[in-house]
Structure 1
Amino acid sequence: MINIEWKQPELILLDQTKLPTDIHYIRCTDWRQVAEAIKMLRVRGAPAIGVAAGYGLILAATEATQSNHPFSEQLSQFYEFAEELKETRPTAINLAWAVDRVLTLVKASISDNAITNGEALINLITKEAEEIHREDIALNHAMAKAGATLFEGQSNIRMLTHCNAGALATGGLGTALGVIRELHANGQLERVYADETRPLLQGARLTALELHEDGIPVTLQTDNMAAYAMQQGLIDAIIVGADRITTKGDVANKIGTYGLAVLAKHHNIPFYVAAPYSTFDFTLQDGKDIPIEMRMAEEVWNFHGIQTAPSDIGILNPAFDVTPHELVTAIITEQGVLKPDYEASIAELQSKVQK
């Protein structure tokens, strides 16, 4: 299933809220549709929303430059649209990274007089958005190869994963699931245990679907069964994706990840995180400073139109939690595997990707 496709003048997105039973595509001709799709998790996963945002900026620039106003005013309108798009989800850094990457390029080109009209602006953004997408595909493959090095000489590996960090969450084959796919291709993987991931069941609806379609043995479990699986010796390693990683190596990921890391520490199970350089927030040191998105109460007391709890009670619904760096065994990137001391290894990564 293709989850993101740019076909001028439309961005076509797979509506992931309807999976696994209904394959439905959204045809976005307005950047607000892209923003709504990101906000409502129709497109989700940190790398994927970065890719989608890049294409959304083409639509924003197209709208802004349709007026008869001077180009300077059109640019101001475009910048306003871009900021609104950027604010749709606060935790996943890839969204802001993609928007800022495009805006930085636009402003530099304006300063150099390289673009002076709407057509040139749209062409510039289109090329950069397509490059972000191509780059994500390449990063996924590089991460898969790097992650597989952690398991050299091992066989019959039983892996646990949480939420969805696969092809549906990226522009390519996935971050955590990319590593899993590589191990499967190498004949090293016995089985994947997938947490269903309450409250929106991304593990059940998306991860289990991806793995099953690829012929990778998968066992679905509810989130509160993970401790049992570890206690029974069913899990050899845990691998998850990430939505933001600080310079200390603290990791924000889907709610429930921190609990898995604590359990892994107790059971002496390695806990791995797979993420591209665009998921690292090089401006933020401590995980406690990562903004955590709080989502709608309806997601907890209601699911697909079925009420599962009283609607007038208090609901706590953080979309993410933060796993402290000391609970992370290694971080898999396209530049290789990072290990403690994370401040040193992440600083080295930064020097490589920000030359």
Structure 2
Amino acid sequence: MTTALTLPQRAAVALGTAEHEKDLIALVAQSADIVSVENADGREQAHRVGMTLRNARTGITKAGKLARDDATAFGKAVIAEEKRLVAIVEPEEARVLGLRDTFDAAEQARKDALIAAERARIDGIQADIQAIRNVTLTMVGKSSSSMWDAIELLDQIQFTEERFAKFKPDAARAVGDAMDAITGMYRGAKEAEEVRIQQEKDAAAVLLKKQQAELAEQQAQFKRDQIAAADAEQKRRDLVEVERDQMIDAQLKVDAKRAQEQRDAQAKIDAATEALRVERADLDAQKAALATPVPVEVVIVPEPERMPLVSETAGINFIKKIAPPPFRPTAEEVIRVLSAHYAEPVETVAEWLESMFGAEFLA
């Protein structure tokens, strides 16, 4: 049983409750008969008793404040002493407990690693078993040879403790189920492949017959095309031969016509040359006759509108004579004939023609 004072008891000691409580009760009892103030004496009595009560109250308050101040100072002193004492043991406490916590953390990490490794191992085993179950799904739509390879691989699986541990029954069951399922799939696929192979053979035979028929038709069409092409080529050659003969005949006719025209033109030139010789002789005779001087009376009259000169008229008639339509001599031929006819330089004759017919005639 503890003998320490409780907080109320400590407060009562600090305020002297055991000494003053009875006096305070007696003091309060003395003023119980004052119920009203009727006169100055009553007021004096109330004032005196009231001030006595106030002094008692303020005394208690001062004692309480002193007790509280002492308690506050004591509390501060306790806190300071507490900190000093704590500072002695706290660093060592932290160091020792830190060593403990480090060990606990390492131990927990080791346990977690073991748990994780075991969980990973179990997950790996479960994954292997699930992969065995999934083999059946991966065989859907595969060839019978792929299914047979899968059956052989499943048959080679060893159910050892190291690989499957306590899950060996699950692994064996998964392998058995997968082999049964794939075996059934293999038989169905084998039958389907045999049917498909037969269908492909039948289709290939039909296709071969069709291709042979098409090839025979292509060969026959090729022969027909060759014959038609040969006939067309022969017709083309015959037509070319006819056209060539026609062109040769037409060219011969043109050459004969041109030769005749050249002979006719030469005959006309020969006739014109003879006429020119005769006219030249007449002109020489006229020049000889005109060589004798004859007195001439010169009469100046206004110049009339220009009339064609004798030489101009003669030249035009001569050109018409030697070049009747539709034959047309060149300007050079005309100049040469006129130069010979009039015994004038070629340049002079060219000037005559330019003045009569314009520069376009000599172009």
Q: TM-score, normalised by structure 2?
A: 0.16
Q: Hey, which of these two has a bigger chunk of strand by percent? A: 1
Q: Hey, which of these two has a bigger chunk of helix by percent? A: 2
Larger radius of gyration: 2
